[in-house]
Amino acid sequence: MTRFIADLGYATIRFILELGRIAAFAADVGRAVITPPARVGAFVAELFNIGVLSLLIICVSGAAVGMVLGLQGYNTLVRFGAEESLGAVVGLSLIRELGPVLTALLTTGRAGSATTAEIGTMVATEQLDGLRMLAIDPVHLVVAPKTLAMVAAMPLLSALFIVCGLAGGYLVGVALMGVDAGNYVSSLQNAVDFRDDVLGSVLKAFVFGILVGLISTFRGYTCQPTSAGVSAATTSTVVVGSVSVLLFDYIITALWGV
Amino acid sequence: MRFGTRPVLIDFSCEFPGGRISVVLGGSGAGKTTILRLIGGLIQPQEGRIWVAGTNVVGLSERQLYEVRRKLGMMFQGGALLNSLTVYENLAFPLREHTQLSEQEIAERVHATLAAVGLRDVDHLLPGELSGGMIKRVALARAILRDPQILLCDEPFSGLDPISVKRIEALLRRINQERGITMIVSSHHIPSTMRMAHHVVLLWDHKAVQGTPQELASSPDPQIADFFNEELHEEGVREPQHTPVHRW
Amino acid sequence: MNRSPRRDLIVGLFVLAGLAALAYLSMNVGGLTFRNQGGLMLYASFDEIGGLKPRAPVVIAGVKVGQVVDIVLDDDYRARVRMDLRRDLKLPVDSTASIVTAGLLGDQYISIQVGGDDRYLENGGTITMTESALSLERLIGKFIYSFERGGNGSDKASDGGKP
């Protein structure tokens, strides 16, 4: 019994230490972002890796989710004769929840893990120490552009996910199930509010971008300099990243009322 | 200096003469690389002082360390070149970061330094496309690019064939003679140490045994003398496969 | 890090596409407008607004001409509704605003019946003739009440210029 309590205490201490390290790391990254010179080239390169290369998976997943929502929504609504509200159902679920959350989860798996693996490999091959010896801050040159690109890409990817989802819902609802096109669009427009829904959605995507960006770079930056260390860090990014996205989704929803 | 509970260097003290080549010798895990990383400020000791070109690097902030490191060059064991950049970019970008040189001046300086380590026409190659010996030489070029006072070389001979070892050794000696750079080389390669070192720091039981290579080889402690002579003896047989290379 | 024009172009296109998606969601779907200041602002007070919410449409003859901006409780404990209408709209001062329901259970919106006066409402003016929301339960209650009384049809809870 005392053993269990001691284990719990140890785990708690480790958790709090880890939180402290992440906070200090976040402060370093934040300072690096505002320190000149701005790494425009590196930022654009990372935006390409994180944003453009995630585009396909985001758009395909968005359309698929929208189509499923259209089908499920229609089948449920038609029982109450309320199928003209399909646009509202598809739109609100996508904008409030599914868009930002699924985008963040997909991006964690696709780009977050790659970010961790890349930085982790640079740690293992002493590339970051090499930069330090050249008096170049690796956080400034390598980490900050990656984090920033993640923060910038997430709202854009989420918006594209939602638009693809709306189109998928439209396709199934209007073209396949015969909901009136005008009804679909007008119920969508009437149900969705700019401040409550769209702004909240962008806020979520933005926060998720910060979370995933920080977690993936932190895991890579602090990974053990061995190949096993890199792979453990990559796994940890996906697990911790996904869980914290879902946790923060609940917190933002509760606070913002989205 | 401890890592976790494993002590590496205890009550350790040594010094490296300016303008000369010093070799840090020791078996695997004895702390050769640790000493170089301590000098570079990449790790901090639990206690003690480390004077580098007149500055104690223990307890300095990262920003203060950057000032010290402007006088330091470090050649890493695996090269530590940024593998997303070409050889030319790997050398050019530290100059862009720290100097106001024009692109043309940067190109001249990069090519001159590459020529000094015996490389040409490698500008557009990526580190992944280079051989082990070439990576070491590019790493050396990057380390001496900004004319450091002190050059740290971590295992410059590891993973190389005997011919490449001789070539790197000759390069280091020439650079030392021409530029008067203080060199601190970590190695467990006895023959090249005997040839090039002015000063040897042998890591023995967490402590330092210092002297010229000849002094150590004829040490009154028979174990130390054996360490030198045995290795010399077996050299011909063991050379090609004697170093574990850490490449991930 | 080296720059490459092709990659930069693709990244630029990605950012533009993302921003376009955001703009579409905000303005077309979310109904964000930047012409709030430019439109014709009118007020109307109702005794009962039922389920009317901000952003509900305002229509004339079924055509959408604007939307509800906000709803506050005024000093007389009546709901004061601010509407943002099309700038070019000329509404006579005796126009009537009523809250109606789309279908039996649908969303509520404001319908304006255009009056016949020569004078027009200015920007920031108030529509004095209003007709409150019909609550279905109240309507049924009223119907039963008037039925018991002998069928003297009530006026629909109207109140134009209340003193």
A-chain CB neighbours of B42 within 8 Å are 129, 132-133
| pLDDT exceeds cutoff 70 at C104 | no
In a domain, C116, yes or no: yes
CATH superfamily of domain region B1-71+148-248: P-loop containing nucleotide triphosphate hydrolases (3.40.50.300)
Tell whether A38 lies on the interface with B, counting CB pairs under 8 A. no
What is the value of pTM for the model shown? 0.76
pLDDT score recorded for residue A163: 93
C-alpha–C-alpha distance, residues C96 and C76, integer Å: 20
Distance in Å, alpha carbon of C14 to nearest chain B alpha carbon: 23
Percent of chain B with pLDDT over 90: 0
Binned at pLDDT 50, 70 and 90, residue C153 comes out as very low
Q: Are residues C107 and C127 in the same domain?
A: yes
In a domain, C162, yes or no: no
Binned at pLDDT 50, 70 and 90, residue C35 comes out as low
pLDDT score recorded for residue B27: 74
Q: Are residues C25 and C54 in the same domain?
A: no
User: What are the start-end ranges of the E strands in B100-192?
Assistant: 150-154, 182-187
Instruction: Identify the DSSP state of B96.
Output: H
Q: Are residues C23 and C48 in the same domain?
A: no
C-alpha–C-alpha distance, residues B200 and B186, integer Å: 10
Interface mutation vs chain B, best among C2, C3, C4, most B CBs within 10 Å? C2
C-alpha–C-alpha distance, residues A178 and C128, integer Å: 43
| pLDDT exceeds cutoff 80 at C45 | yes
| pLDDT exceeds cutoff 60 at C154 | no
A78 contacts A123 by C-beta, under 8 angstroms:
no
Q: Are residues C137 and C98 in the same domain?
A: yes
C146 contacts C63 by C-beta, under 8 angstroms:
no
Tell whether C31 lies on the interface with A, counting CB pairs under 8 A. yes
* Model confidence pLDDT, tens digit, residues B87-144: 888 888 888 877 777 878 888 888 888 877 777 777 788 888 878 778 888 888 888 8
Positions of chain A with pLDDT lower than 50, given as ranges: none
C-chain CB neighbours of A197 within 8 Å are 30
B120 contacts B48 by C-beta, under 8 angstroms:
no
pLDDT score recorded for residue B240: 40
What is the chain B residue with the closest CA to C1?
A: B85
Distance in Å, alpha carbon of A178 to nearest chain B alpha carbon: 52
C-alpha–C-alpha distance, residues A151 and A203, integer Å: 11
* Model confidence pLDDT, tens digit, residues B147-170: 888 888 888 887 778 887 888 888
Q: Are residues C65 and C130 in the same domain?
A: yes
Q: Are residues C66 and C121 in the same domain?
A: yes
Three-state SS for B208? strand
C-chain CB neighbours of B85 within 8 Å are 1-2
Mean pLDDT across C97-106: 74
Number of structural domains found in chain C: 2
Binned at pLDDT 50, 70 and 90, residue C158 comes out as very low
In a domain, C120, yes or no: yes
Interface mutation vs chain B, best among A44, A126, A129, A142, most B CBs within 10 Å? A126
C-alpha–C-alpha distance, residues B86 and B73, integer Å: 20
B135 Cβ neighbours under 8 A, 6+ residues apart: B78, B79, B81, B127
Match 């994180």 to its residue by tokens.
Answer: A50
The burial class, CB within 10 Å (0-12 / 13-18 / 19+), for C50 is middle
C-chain CB neighbours of B89 within 8 Å are 2
| pLDDT exceeds cutoff 60 at C163 | no
* The pair of three-digit structure tokens given for residue C26, joined into one six-digit string: 């905000």
In a domain, C157, yes or no: no
What is the chain C residue with the closest CA to A184?
A: C29
Rounding to the nearest 10 degrees, give the CA dihedral for residues A55, A119, A20, A215.
Answer: 20
pLDDT score recorded for residue A115: 92
Interface mutation vs chain A, best among B97, B136, B152, B153, most A CBs within 10 Å? B97
Match 């604007």 to its residue by tokens.
Answer: C66
C-alpha–C-alpha distance, residues A9 and A15, integer Å: 10
**What ipTM is given for this predicted complex?**
0.78
pLDDT score recorded for residue B248: 38
Neighbours of B118 (CB within 10 A): 15
Distance in Å, alpha carbon of C9 to nearest chain A alpha carbon: 10
Task: Name residues 179-238 of chain B within 8 A of A (Cβ).
Answer: none
Match 């210092």 to its residue by tokens.
Answer: B210
CB contact under 8 A, A132 and B40: yes
Q: Is B120 left (phi over 0), alpha (psi -120 to 50) or beta?
A: beta
CB contact under 8 A, C22 and A155: yes
* Model confidence pLDDT, tens digit, residues C114-134: 888 888 888 888 888 888 877
In a domain, C155, yes or no: no
Q: Are residues C57 and C24 in the same domain?
A: no
B-chain CB neighbours of C2 within 8 Å are 85, 89
Distance in Å, alpha carbon of C94 to nearest chain A alpha carbon: 29
Q: Are residues C59 and C137 in the same domain?
A: yes
Chain B residues whose C-beta is within 8 A of a chain C C-beta are: 84-85, 89
Match 């200041």 to its residue by tokens.
Answer: C37
A147 contacts A93 by C-beta, under 8 angstroms:
no
Q: Are residues C60 and C110 in the same domain?
A: yes
DSSP state string for A150-176: HHHHHHHHHHHHHHHHHHHHHIIIIII
pLDDT score recorded for residue A60: 95
Binned at pLDDT 50, 70 and 90, residue C36 comes out as low
A-chain CB neighbours of B159 within 8 Å are none
In a domain, C60, yes or no: yes
* Model confidence pLDDT, tens digit, residues A186-204: 788 877 877 778 888 999 9
Match 């004697």 to its residue by tokens.
Answer: B242
Distance in Å, alpha carbon of B176 to nearest chain C alpha carbon: 32
C-alpha–C-alpha distance, residues A145 and B96, integer Å: 18
Range of the domain at C12: 1-32
Q: Are residues C3 and C48 in the same domain?
A: no
What is the chain A residue with the closest CA to C57?
A: A190
Angle at CA of residue B181, ends B55 and A127, nearest 5°: 75
Neighbours of A252 (CB within 10 A): 18
pLDDT score recorded for residue C3: 60
Binned at pLDDT 50, 70 and 90, residue C49 comes out as confident
pLDDT, chain B, mean: 77
